Amino acid sequence: MRPDLPPRVLAVFLASMVALAPFSIDTYLPAMPAMATYFGTSIGMVEMTVGIFFLGYAMGQLVGGPLSDHFGRRRVGGPGVVIFFLATVGIIFAPTIEWAIFGRLVQAFGGGFVTVIAPSVVRDRFRGKEAAKMFALIGVVMMLAPLVAPAVGAVLLRFFDWRMIFAFLAVYALVSLAVIFLALPERQKALSKKLNLRKVWADYGRVLTNRRAMGYMVTQSFSSAVMYLFLTGSAFAYIAYLGISTDMFPILFGANIITMMAFNRLNPFLLNLFSPHRLIGIGVSIQLLACVLLWSGQYIDPLNPYMVVPMIMVAVGVAGIIMPNSFACYLDDFSDNSGSATAIMGTSQFVLGAILSAVLGLLHSTTIFPMTTMMLLSSIVAVLSYRLLTRQKN
């Protein structure tokens, strides 16, 4: 084991590693037009670097999860960061957009390795309410990434070209590598020298056949889908539909993150009164109520920002309570294969979010009714899954 770090310090280290992925997505968004000009291609081709990242990220988690259970957290996280770093350097020197797209796939694959070990480290050391508090601490640091990343990219782009953004990501990767080898605690249980593929599939099977765990996974995935659907339709909803200025958009967008952080900070205090399982139920119920009011507002006064913005803030922000407690309850049944369990949870969220976002794109209209309807339906599924599929342990 590495030095026994205080939980708050460990949470910051773990969150900084997991934030490598959202930084990789959000930091270079302002540079897309510049990349299109540099490669002599369309914005559509550059946008493919985002979609391919989601695919590689999901693959990295699926592969990295069981490997971390077998070989250990550092032995998987370290190579994952190295893969990320080398791919990032490759993107900087990519001669064509096709090479950049391939680099993003490999970069995301390595990033998936890094992401999947953080919840596993928490599961290795904490249980129940203590685990939920750790996930909440990680969450509050993680939530800073969507606020900071676009600004970092914009500042770098002001003084340098788009390649400096990826140079920043490469440096970030090296810092993460140092954290992994100098501070990350390892599993205490001895590991066998030979990887047993049958055990890998068996571990996945144990997760997928655990009804209670699947209930938490479905609840978490569809609850998170509410946020993904908003992210997909946010620019249209706020700027094109409600007529909010582009200068005001980042402020209202950031308000959702601030609300999420507020709920996240409230979570440790609520854990003194309620179990993590109970808090999930409270969270998804609040989210459902917000989604109902948001959807109903489209029949009452559809162009009134006050009928939209506050409800979205609550529907998205309450994830600050739902996510840490869902992870804690979900991983509670998996001591030896928490990496595999984490991989399945992470992949399910990304895949479901990608699918529903694509459907929302196909249903795009001149109103936000498709977005609010899909947010409401996702919230309903989350509540039903919680009520029907999860059971609190005695």
> Does 7-186 match 211-389 in CATH topology?
yes
pLDDT given for residue 279 in this prediction: 92
> What is the per-residue pLDDT across 374-384, written as a single tens digit (0 to 9) for each?
999 999 999 99
For the record, the structure tokens of 147 come out as 């606020």
> What is the per-residue pLDDT across 211-240, written as a single tens digit (0 to 9) for each?
888 889 999 999 988 988 887 677 677 877
- Band (336; pLDDT cuts 50, 70, 90): low
pLDDT given for residue 202 in this prediction: 73
Residue extents of the structural domains in the chain: 7-186, 211-389
Alpha carbon 301 to its chain centroid, in Å, reads: 33
pLDDT given for residue 301 in this prediction: 85
- Give me the amino acid identity at 130: E
Stretch (H or E) spanning 261 = helix 249-270
- Whether the per-residue pLDDT at 246 is higher than 50: the answer is yes
Whose tokens are 């599924």? That residue is 381
For the record, the structure tokens of 57 come out as 């990220």
Q: What is the rounded CA–CA span in Å between residue 273 and residue 374?
A: 33
CATH classification code of 211-389? 1.20.1250.20
Q: What is the rounded CA–CA span in Å between residue 223 and residue 288?
A: 9
Determine contact, residues 185/121, Cβ cutoff 8 Å. Answer: yes
- Whether the per-residue pLDDT at 86 is higher than 60: the answer is yes
For the record, the structure tokens of 16 come out as 């900084």
* pLDDT > 90 fraction of the chain, expressed in percent and rounded: 19
Which CATH number is correct for 7-186, 3.40.50.880, 1.10.3720.10, 1.10.150.170, 1.20.1250.20?
A: 1.20.1250.20
pLDDT given for residue 190 in this prediction: 44
Which range is most confident: 34-48, 148-162, 264-278, 375-389?
375-389
**Which residue, 145, 148, 143, is CA-closest to 321?**
143
Instruction: Calculate the average pLDDT of the chain.
Output: 80
